């Protein structure tokens, strides 16, 4: 349920709230669940380098279409246009999971933000802590 | 604090040690004519000790699988004890077989289901959870398997219909969790946020 709540806040664009919810729940999360929540926070916060590092290392188990989804969310949230759009568009066309396709198409239709997002000091600190934890301290 | 896997491994090693050192006390007939082989006796005693440790660890656990888990361990212990006296030559196979079928296989299958579910492999997750719930048909296991089965359906309408049918028997947090999953399936994040926020403790 925590996973869904964090994702819901991110999908709704309430990223500061999502980061606060993650920070509050982090002590109760472990292992893979913790890494998945970290991935969502990094992706919706636009930290695409950290999200990609997490997907390539600790979350290497994530299937390619889901990895493409989170890579695109991270890049798009950061205002970066990269190859992740094409990858997600291809997966959305080929995937037979209706829910995934619908979510992917919604993100693909969203406009690229004009500038990279800025965060409150508390959120920036929480993001930095996640990046330290996943071994990426540099900005996405 | 120990992880669940580490606790299982430690319990297993401890059970082997107990069976090894205390076998003559626990089963004085070992080695006698008509009694099971030393290996069979050792395996049976280890399985029974592991079951007792499992029951003891679950006794202080408040999760949904408490009763079902205790029953599985108790059944394993009972099968081991009965086999030791009724089918002594086969007791090792019976006790270890019961431990594998009633405890180990459902645990491993459920871990696999969680693993694949987290990775986005919905169909294989549903298959693993279904097999686990067949071996360990407790209410929480059947519910979890049904939820993963619903998530594995290809059409949103079928997925929502499956969740709706599960809501009939669900109460409290489970009911709200199913509402959240329905909203999630519809890509309705406002609904998902409000239902999950209501279902989660503050």
How confident is the model over B82-105, as pLDDT tens digits?
988 788 888 889 999 999 999 999
Q: Find the mean pLDDT for residues A34-40.
A: 94
Write the residue in A1, A9, A63 that is nearest to B120 by C-beta: A63
Contact A4 B184 (CB under 8 A): yes
Q: How confident is the model at residue A75 (pLDDT cuts 50, 70, 90)?
A: very high
Write the residue in A5, A32, A62 that is nearest to B193 by C-beta: A5
Q: Give the residue from chain B lying closest to A37, CA to CA.
A: B118
The pLDDT > 70 percentage for chain A reads 96
Q: Give the residue from chain B lying closest to A97, CA to CA.
A: B154
Distance (Å, whole) CA A86 – CA A76: 12
Q: What is the pLDDT of residues A76-104, one digit of tens each?
A: 998 888 889 999 999 999 988 888 899 99
Residue ranges for chain B with pLDDT beneath 50: 202
Distance from the Cα of A45 to chain B's closest Cα (Å) equals 17
Predicted confidence at residue B143, as pLDDT, reads 92
- Cα distances from A12 to residues A57, B119, B178, in angstroms, run 27, 23, 20
Q: How confident is the model at residue A7 (pLDDT cuts 50, 70, 90)?
A: very high
Q: Which one has a higher pLDDT value, B58 or A128?
A: A128
**Nearest alpha-carbon partner for B140 in B194, B96, B183, B177:** B177
Predicted confidence at residue B26, as pLDDT, reads 66
Distance (Å, whole) CA A95 – CA B118: 17
Write the residue in A11, A61, A98 that is nearest to B155 by C-beta: A98
Contact B154 A66 (CB under 8 A): no
Rg (CA), chain A: 14
CB < 8 Å & 24+ apart, contacts of A123-127: A123/A15, A123/A16, A123/A19, A123/A20, A123/A45, A126/A19, A126/A20, A126/A22, A126/A23, A126/A41, A127/A19, A127/A41, A127/A42, A127/A45, A127/A47
Contact A12 B190 (CB under 8 A): yes
């Amino acid at each position: 349920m925590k996973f869904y709540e964090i994702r819901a806040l991110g999908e709704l664009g309430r990223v500061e709230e999502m980061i606060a919810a993650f920070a509050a729940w982090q002590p109760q999360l472990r292992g893979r669940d913790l890494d998945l929540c970290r991935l969502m926070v990094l992706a919706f916060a636009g930290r695409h380098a950290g999200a990609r590092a997490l997907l390539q290392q600790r979350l290497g188990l994530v299937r390619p279409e889901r990895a493409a989804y989170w890579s695109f969310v991270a890049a798009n949230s950061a205002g970066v246009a990269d190859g992740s759009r094409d990858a997600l568009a291809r997966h959305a066309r080929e995937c037979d999971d209706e829910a995934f396709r619908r979510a992917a198409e919604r993100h693909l239709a969203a406009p690229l933000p004009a500038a990279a997002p800025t965060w409150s000091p508390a959120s920036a600190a929480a993001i930095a802590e996640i990046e330290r934890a996943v071994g990426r301290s540099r900005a996405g | 604090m120990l992880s669940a896997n580490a606790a299982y491994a430690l319990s297993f090693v401890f059970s082997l040690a107990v069976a090894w050192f205390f076998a003559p006390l626990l089963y004085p007939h070992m080695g006698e004519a008509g009694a099971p082989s030393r290996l069979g006796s050792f395996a049976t005693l280890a399985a029974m000790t592991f079951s007792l440790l499992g029951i003891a660890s679950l006794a202080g656990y408040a999760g949904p699988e408490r009763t079902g888990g205790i029953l599985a361990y108790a059944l394993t212990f009972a099968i081991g004890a009965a086999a030791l006296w009724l089918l002594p030559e086969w007791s090792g196979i019976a006790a270890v077989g019961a431990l594998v079928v009633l405890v180990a296989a459902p645990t491993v299958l459920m871990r696999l289901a969680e693993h694949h579910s987290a990775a986005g492999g919905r169909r294989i997750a549903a298959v693993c959870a279904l097999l686990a719930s067949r071996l360990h048909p407790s209410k929480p296991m059947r519910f979890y398997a049904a939820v993963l089965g619903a998530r594995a359906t290809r059409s949103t309408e079928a997925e929502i219909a499956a969740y709706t049918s599960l809501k009939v028997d669900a109460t409290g947090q489970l009911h709200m969790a199913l509402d959240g999953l329905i909203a999630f399936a519809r890509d309705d994040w406002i609904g998902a946020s409000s239902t999950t926020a209501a279902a989660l403790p503050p």
